[in-house]
Chains A and B, each alone.
Chain A
């Protein structure tokens, strides 16, 4: 272990002697950091409707299937999607509202399920943390309603429930909403894909091949979406 310690010291020593600003600590770095240019677009200019329309357009470009519904219609909309999938066994994270788990299907609730068991299910149902319209990105922070990373990875079919109030236009708007950086996060922009063979885009290499999204038209204020608003997001973050 002594060798490792000395490499640490020698690397840091070389860095410090190369940059020649001794005494530079986190506090000084923070001052310089605060002065960095950030002239790029922060908040988007689209209306709520425009933002949602853009997100739907982007998701469809990625071959995701998108349907819209009201909060009251949601359980029925979920059931319809599940039925249309012609699949039977689904995995779900432990925090979903019971009304989402439509009857007539085989539900595996992920309380530390074995990988082998998750590998056998046909599909997965999760909520989301946020969505970014500009890039068609769905954000998962893997809380109780989004579940462990493995459940939205192994099944071939993913149904994701998104609230309209969770949709932002630009990526910086998402980062503004994050108060505490999450320990785990996955940003999904379209289904798994590769272009490694002659730049031909092929859908579905390892992740889910089919992404379905139900966009729920909830009231516009994030505070009015209690069940869905993940604990680790908040409307504002100081820079």
Chain B
């Protein structure tokens, strides 16, 4: 478990990975099991009394179908928020946190290159997020039979989960890159968090109006849910955009850390 930087990073973060996975699985399970009580005539009627603009803004236009329900609860809000918080935390710790704690110094004095440290830390980030995503996926698949969600295929749930993973990876690698550039925890954390908040609301608001719709293409959330993977399956183009963005952030981190003083 201790042979390389990435396994060591995972090993040290094991408690966090378990806790976040349990929390994500719990939340997903809870919402999934709540679906039968919403999937009823009376609820659908009640929803009709809400203003349509509001329903659209929150993506509640189709709350009673299985895809609509999960898309606006688990995959629409809670899982992305939790995953992004988890990812930004990990990405911040990967370089900046380690550097501020003074422990990056000793690691880099060993025969490992800075590029290798960045790449292995990014790998550990990706693996951690994959485990957490699998917890979401597993919980929903497990609840599918019980909770009358069988209108959804396992493939569709997998597609939405993959988009979730890539969204979180984008923000995690962004935090990692900001940390590699500035060496500051607070900068990495707040920088990535600001992009996340702007991206979320930018995507939600911009797509309401034709004139600003293009703005949404700047938001990672557009590539997360714009193609409705829960309904339409994997959106290869959108997923690629998120993957390329993540790879780009990692590349920036490698270059940035390679050029500057460490711990200064």
Chain A complexes with chain B:
no
B residues at A contact (CB < 8 Å):
none
